[in-house]
């Protein structure tokens, strides 16, 4: 599907005409306007000691290597956004492989370091995941989590149908405690992105007041914060100047949360999640209600303890705030060795027949477990007997993983686990942007590039 077909299909003719007009107002003949927009975002994030992640199609990078090298030198991460700006859903696996390989070659010859990939239109397929894995990309950022921040009843029928079409195109999934966490599929890390993005708000729903956009993004931030997850904001630098105030509102909001929010680039988050996946907790029984805990981890790790007494610590961790709230976990510095007192072993017991997939999942999520027979089930805070894998379909897997994480996080019993984020951060926020075009010429070349690439592939 080319750009015009895509725009017509999802936005209608009137919206497409409006889009054409805005192209002329947002891009210039030279790089100047885009450079200004990119630096508006970089400079704003710099005030928060952070930097953005930009994704760019390789052909666009090829036309503007010095601009990309400059922003990379100024702290921005650059990721791959296709060889051309096309939808991978219209390509076979070998076509996807070839184009991703070509894109990588352009990044390498332009001396731009890259770690991750985001598909144009977030159009990923199962084959894309194989391709990214085979080509050793560290992460992809395509899974679109839709937050309930737009009231469909307030939209005109046209806006509503456009909004719903976007959700279908982006293959949107529900926000849960699990879907908002990074996760591995084999060696490939998946970093979910949150929508609505700037394009849905500005161009589709015609919300142009930066205060209102900022308010919507803060609402998303709050939802993600409540889950202790990752908020990847996706915006297009062509709206960098328009988005600056909204982004400033979001950053201020994130900074003012009661617990700190980690502002990081996607490659930093991916590296952290890789580091964290190696952490382990070993628990040995010392006697009645006493356990030796050894955490194998780096100093960036946070160990969370609840409903137990850590010997040598001044207070127990069973302090409950309010009648229904979860206990506030005690944060312990890592690496760590300590002795804890608790009625039950503060980890998960798993039956010998529990599947490897479930055990790998628990490890990745930072939950300690021990294989144990059913007779000893009640010596553990939680006992799992899950012989089956986590589900045959993606939806089924999402559901079961979310249920499991939710069940563990709400355990009303002694438990130790690793915090999701480094250095005691409660949630994470990454500002990412897709540089689809730098100049007006790039914008119109897209149409030719995409059709010739798809045409070449169909031969």
**Interface contacts to Zn ion, rule CB under 5 A:** 120, 434, 436
Phi and psi, residue 423, nearest 5°: 50, 35
The set of residues, in sequence order, having a beta carbon less than 8 Å from that of 431 and lying 6+ positions away, is: 41, 45, 50, 52, 53, 233, 235, 247, 263
Would strands 336-341 and 290-296 be described as parallel, antiparallel, or unpaired? Answer: antiparallel
Range list of β-strands (E), 211-298: 230-235, 261-263, 280-287, 290-296
**CB closer to Zn ion, 234 vs 342:** 234
The answer to whether the beta carbons of residues 194 and 232 sit under 8 Å apart is yes
Asked if residue 60 lies in contact with residue 442, where contact means CB atoms within 8 angstroms, the answer is yes
Question: Which of 378, 358, 376 is closest to 367 using CA atoms?
Answer: 358
**How near is the Cβ of 62 to Zn ion at its closest, in Å?**
16
φ, ψ at 147 (rounded to 5°) = -100, 145
Judge whether 85 and 446 are in contact, CB under 8 Å. yes
Q: Calculate helix-pair angle for 3-26, 157-169, nearest 10 degrees.
A: 110
| Distance of closest approach, residue 85 Cβ to Zn ion, in angstroms | 6
* C-beta of 31 vs 442, nearer to Zn ion: 442
Rounded CA-CA distance 459/443 in Å is 25
- In whole angstroms, how close is the CB of 419 to Zn ion at the nearest point? 33
Closest CA to 292 of 274, 273, 316, 311: 311
Q: Min. distance of Cβ 81 from Zn ion in angstroms?
A: 6
Question: Which residue, 3 or 310, has its beta carbon nearer to Zn ion?
Answer: 3
Tally of CA atoms within 13 A in the half-sphere of 56 that contains its CB? 35
What lies within 8 Å, CB to CB, of 255 at 6+ separation is 48, 261
Report residue 215 CA to chain centroid gap: 21
Residue with smaller CB distance to Zn ion, 436 or 449: 436
| Residue 404 or 435 having the CB closest to Zn ion | 435
Smallest distance, Zn ion to C-beta of residue 163, A: 18
**Secondary structure of residue 328 in the 3-state scheme:** coil
Nearer of residues 229 and 237 to Zn ion, judged by Cβ: 237
Alpha helices, DSSP H, located in 110-156: 126-134
Nearest distance, CB of residue 57 and Zn ion, angstroms: 7
In DSSP terms, 195 is beta-bridged to: 146
Strands ordered across the beta sheet of 330-333: 330-333, 302-306, 415-418
Q: How far is the CB of 122 from Zn ion (least distance, A)?
A: 9
Q: Specify the residue, 31 or 238, whose C-beta has the smaller distance to Zn ion.
A: 238
d(CA 135, CA 188): 10
| Cβ distance to Zn ion smaller for residue 123 or 349 | 123
Please give the backbone phi and psi of residue 330, each rounded to the nearest 5 degrees, phi first.
-85, 135
Query: 31 or 434, CB closer to Zn ion?
Result: 434
Quote the least distance from Cβ 169 to Zn ion, whole Å.
12
Residue with nearest beta carbon to Zn ion = 434
Residue 142: other Cβ atoms inside 10 A = 24
Minimum CB separation of residue 119 from Zn ion in Å reads 8
Indicate the residue among 228 and 237 with the shorter CB distance to Zn ion.
237
Closest approach of Zn ion to the CB of residue 79, in Å? 11
Nearer to Zn ion, 57 or 175 (CB): 57
CB of 434 to Zn ion, least distance (A): 4
């Amino acid at each position: 599907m080319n750009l015009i077909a895509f725009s017509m299909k999802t936005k209608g003719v009137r919206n497409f005409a409006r889009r054409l007009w805005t192209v002329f107002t947002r891009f210039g003949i030279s790089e100047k306007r885009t450079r200004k927009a990119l630096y508006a975002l970089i400079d704003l994030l710099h005030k928060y000691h952070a930097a953005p992640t930009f994704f760019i199609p390789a052909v666009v990078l090829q036309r503007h290597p010095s601009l990309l090298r400059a922003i990379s030198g100024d702290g921005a991460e650059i990721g791959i956004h296709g060889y051309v700006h096309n939808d991978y859903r219209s390509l076979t696996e070998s076509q996807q492989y070839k184009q991703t390989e070509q894109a990588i070659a352009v990044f390498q010859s332009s001396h731009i370091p890259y770690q991750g990939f985001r598909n144009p239109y977030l159009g990923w397929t199962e084959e894309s995941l194989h391709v990214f894995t085979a080509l050793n990309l560290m992460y992809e950022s395509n899974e679109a989590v839709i937050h309930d921040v737009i009231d469909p009843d307030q939209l005109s029928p046209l806006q509503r149908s456009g909004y719903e079409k976007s959700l279908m195109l982006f293959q949107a999934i529900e926000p849960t405690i699990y879907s908002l966490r990074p996760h591995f599929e084999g060696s490939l890390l998946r970093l979910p992105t949150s929508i609505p993005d700037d394009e849905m708000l500005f161009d589709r729903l015609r919300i142009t007041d930066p205060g209102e956009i900022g308010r919507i993004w803060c609402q998303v931030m709050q939802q993600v914060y409540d889950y202790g997850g990752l908020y990847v904001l996706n915006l297009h630098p062509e709206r960098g100047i328009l988005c600056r105030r909204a982004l400033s509102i979001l950053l201020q909001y994130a900074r003012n949360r009661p617990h700190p929010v980690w502002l990081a680039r996607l490659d930093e988050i991916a590296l952290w999640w890789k580091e964290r996946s190696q952490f382990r907790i070993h628990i040995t029984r010392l006697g009645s209600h006493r356990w030796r805990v050894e955490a194998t981890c780096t100093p960036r790790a946070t160990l969370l303890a609840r409903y137990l007494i850590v010997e040598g610590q001044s207070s127990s961790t069973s302090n409950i705030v309010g009648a229904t709230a979860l206990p506030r976990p005690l944060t312990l510095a890592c690496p760590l060795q300590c002795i804890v007192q608790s009625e039950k072993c503060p980890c998960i017991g798993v039956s010998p027949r529990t599947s490897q997939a479930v055990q790998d999942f628990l490890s990745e999520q930072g939950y300690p477990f021990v294989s144990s027979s059913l007779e000893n089930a009640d010596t553990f805070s939680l006992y799992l007997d899950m012989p089956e894998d986590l589900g045959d379909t993606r939806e089924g897997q999402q559901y079961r993983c979310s249920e499991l994480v939710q069940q563990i996080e709400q355990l009303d019993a002694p438990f130790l686990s690793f915090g999701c984020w480094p250095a005691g951060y409660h949630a994470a926020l990454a500002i990412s942007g897709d540089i689809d075009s730098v100049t007006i010429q790039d914008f119109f070349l897209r149409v030719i590039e995409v059709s010739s690439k798809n045409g070449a592939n169909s031969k």
